[in-house]
Chain A
Amino acid sequence: MASTDQAATTEHATDAQLMSGADILVQSLVEHDVAVIFAYPGGASMPLHQSLTRVSDRVRTILPRHEQGGGFAAQGYARSTGRPGVCMATSGPGATNLVTAIADAKLDSIPLLAITGQVPTGNIGSDAFQETPIVEVCRGITKHHYLVTDVNDLPRVMREAFHIATTGRPGPVLVDVPKDVQNARCVPDWSAPMNLPGYQLTERRARPEQINQVAAAIKLAKRPVIYAGGGIVLSGASDELRTFARKTGIPVTMTVMGLGAYPNEDPLSLDMLGMHGSAYANWAVRDCDLLIALGVRFDDRVTGKVEAFAKHAKIVHIDVDASELNKNKPAHIPIVSDVKYALGELNKLVEPKTDIADWVAQCRKWKDEQPFHYDTQFDGILQQHAIATLSRLTRDRDTYITVGVGQHQMWAAQFYKFRRPRTWLSSSGLGTMGFGLPAAMGVQAAHPDALVIDIDGDGSFQMNIQELATCYCERLPVKVLLLNNQHLGMVVQWEDRFMAGNRAHTYLGPIHHDEAVGKGASAYAVERYPDFVQIAKGYGCGAATVSRKADLVPALEEMLGYDGPYVLDVQVPYQEHVLPMIPSGHTVDDIILE
């Protein structure tokens, strides 16, 4: 949009030049190429929704069935495209329903713009109807936040919000707009500059001497490992990582956020590391003499006992966020840099490592000896088997996988073979149950022709099951592979391992069932509850149940071929444990393999 004539001040403006705050905000969405917004209306955001109807040819407004679903859908959009996701809610409960999705975006560094309506400025602080101080609530869980009190600030605030959300280490930005500001009119100054003296990005590039230092460390290393995280995906450095690994021949392990950055099926891939990571990745990190940590944060689910993690290794740590360096684990070579830039520079210097053949062979031997595995003879459908089969069937399609949180999430991370970045979406840092379905919805909105599958558990699925309505009504043909064990499987696993199997509110059926007190007679919960097929059909989705192993492939094929959203309810046993497992706070030497 052209900048307005400086002479046209608001006082002397004609009606044609004046715009309402709501129109200005919505216009700035258009200016920032926002194609989809997930927005749930209410009293304090109605002007914004009215404005959205006037740009419906450019911005698709999707109505979720719960604001949290809208927040995660916006994340699904952002995680799968790399562009900012946008969600909107009204004041009070609408805004607080976004809080979990905002916190989730903060922990996984997802560019999210959350817009909330607020009570009129004159009512702020009076405990008005549907008033919450949402900026106060969200201070610690946003990258930045705004309460807009002057309509003239809106163009600048929106520009800053998009800039902050998407640059450096991405994250959520909240813009809270009181209703009177939405209705106030002014002549917008579209050229208003950003005022961010404290947000300077220019120096976040590795210096040549730092790159030389890393190259020298690589040259000396005899047992190097690359530890790649979400930063690789976020900075679009997946190609640089592949070049780096293939050129040097150094094995690569990934965090749960890093999956997709490097193909699982590549011979140098050590797959995921950490608590439920592969034994071979964890052994490689234990024995390595150089750990090249790229876009990672040494999270406790990765390191276990942090003092013992990569104990004998020299550590190179490259991250765009300076505060991650030396936070959990001191690095020998800490580098503040965009990891894509650093890898690009490094690739100009590094040479093939001819002296690590023994080490690479050792890693491969571990991989052969202790691969991710399960009982292939089991007379029924195991969760791992369902995922591995799905991975095989979708191999040649443009597929995106989302998950909830728990056992099914870890099995998906272990048994689905990812090939491309941004095709795996997991609430990894916050670990939010209910993430899978709405996230898949957002992915589908961004990629209408792709195959989008939510691999979910029955606990997680029910936390945002209402979004089946959105999938149906908005024609988002998301598929749900529901691994239904009638329990909160991950907590059950901990109960079994560490609490003598005492069931503490981890059975999801009626409380008079034997399973509720851990006295179930078989591998499956006897009376299944609820009837997910009936629920899905009630929402207008396709649905079926499958329990026999022989029926799995045809059932999956029917789901994959269905024209519309579909729920495949897979009956799985509840005694199955996610392995390997390094108990919380322990070391790789305590790894549980069987």
Chain B
Amino acid sequence: MRHVLSAIVQNVPGVLAHISGMLASRGYNIDSLAVGETEDPNLSRMTFVVVGDERILEQVAKQLEKIVTVVKVVDVSSQDFVERDLMLLKVQAPAGPRRSEIRELVDIFRGKIVDVGAEEIMIEISGRENKIEAFIDRMRPYGILELVRSGRIAMVRGAQQDERVPRMHSA
């Protein structure tokens, strides 16, 4: 079972090391971890994707809350939420029909071409994980040169929670 946890943490040195160290030393399986500032410069938000059953999720959340610099932990995936992953991908695209094909796919997936070279282009794309995965599969035959992903970030829909930190920069 896959859960998305969101933690508001104090923006102090070492907090990321503390949290990732705790997760590793207790043997929790973390799929993805994204960190970024919030609109309050004293606070950051971390988004975790945790794989495990309810009991593991409960322990991860409680162990996170126990860390002094962790202000709040929310199980985002237990509510109606939006999640996004941002990817930059460089693919072989010599001028000609292959480049046109790629452009078409980028349009279909609502991505953006952000850099064009003689032999390759760089694509920016964001969305849910399955969309990103599907796009990667489509690009494979053309020859992926480089790929980088932000890790998942997530937010609960509506105004029900965390009014203190309503906005989140991309990680």
Interface residues of A (CB under 8 A from B): 135-136, 139-140, 143-145, 147, 164, 195-199, 321-323, 326-327, 330
Contacts and interface: CB of A to CB of B under 8 A. Distances in A.
Given A140-B25, A198-B68, 11 more contacts: A135-B14, A139-B17, A139-B21, A140-B21, A196-B68, A198-B10, A198-B65, A198-B67, A322-B66, A323-B59, A330-B55
Nearest to A336: B62
Contacts of B62: 322-323
Nearest to B9: A198
Q: Give the one of B21, B55, B68, B69 with max A CB within 10 A.
A: B68
B88 interface: no
Contacts of A143: 68
A69 B126 CA distance: 56
A333 B70 CA distance: 27
B84 interface: no
26 contacts: A135-B14, A136-B17, A139-B14, A139-B17, A139-B18, A139-B21, A140-B21, A140-B22, A140-B25, A143-B68, A144-B68, A145-B14, A196-B68, A197-B71, A198-B10, A198-B67, A198-B68, A198-B70, A198-B71, A198-B72, A321-B66, A322-B62, A323-B65, A323-B66, A326-B55, A327-B59
Contacts of B158: none
Nearest to B43: A197
Interface of B: 9-10, 13-14, 17-18, 21-22, 25, 55, 58-59, 62-63, 65-72
Contacts of A145: 14
Contacts of B66: 321-323
A322 B14 CA distance: 24
Contacts of A164: 68
Nearest to B26: A140
Contact of B10 (A136, A197, A326, A327): A197
B152 to A, nearest CB: 23
A322 B66 CA distance: 8
Q: Give the one of A145, A198, A327 with max B CB within 10 A.
A: A198
B10 A147 contact: no
Contacts of A195: 10
Nearest to B72: A198
Contacts of B72: 198
A353 to B, nearest CB: 33
Contacts of A198: 9-10, 65, 67-72
Top-9 shortest CB links A-B: A323-B62, A198-B71, A144-B68, A197-B71, A198-B70, A199-B68, A322-B62, A139-B18, A140-B25
A321 B65 CA distance: 10
A147 B18 CA distance: 13
B68 A323 contact: no
A199 B65 CA distance: 9
Contacts of B17: 136, 139
Contacts of A135: 14
Nearest to A321: B66
Contacts of B69: 198
A378 B48 CA distance: 62
Nearest to B68: A144
Contacts of B68: 143-144, 164, 196, 198-199
Contacts of B58: 326
Nearest to A198: B71
Nearest to A325: B62
B38 to A, nearest CB: 13
Contacts of A136: 14, 17
A467 to B, nearest CB: 31
B120 to A, nearest CB: 38
Contacts of B55: 326, 330
Contact of A323 (B14, B21, B63): B63
B21 to A, nearest CB: 5
Contacts of B9: 198
Contacts of A322: 62, 65-66
Nearest to B63: A323
A193 to B, nearest CB: 14
A146 to B, nearest CB: 9
A195 B42 CA distance: 11
Contacts of B25: 140
A147 B21 contact: no
Contacts of A321: 66
A145 B25 CA distance: 17
A164 B69 CA distance: 12
A213 B14 CA distance: 42
B161 to A, nearest CB: 16
Contacts of A139: 14, 17-18, 21-22
B50 to A, nearest CB: 15
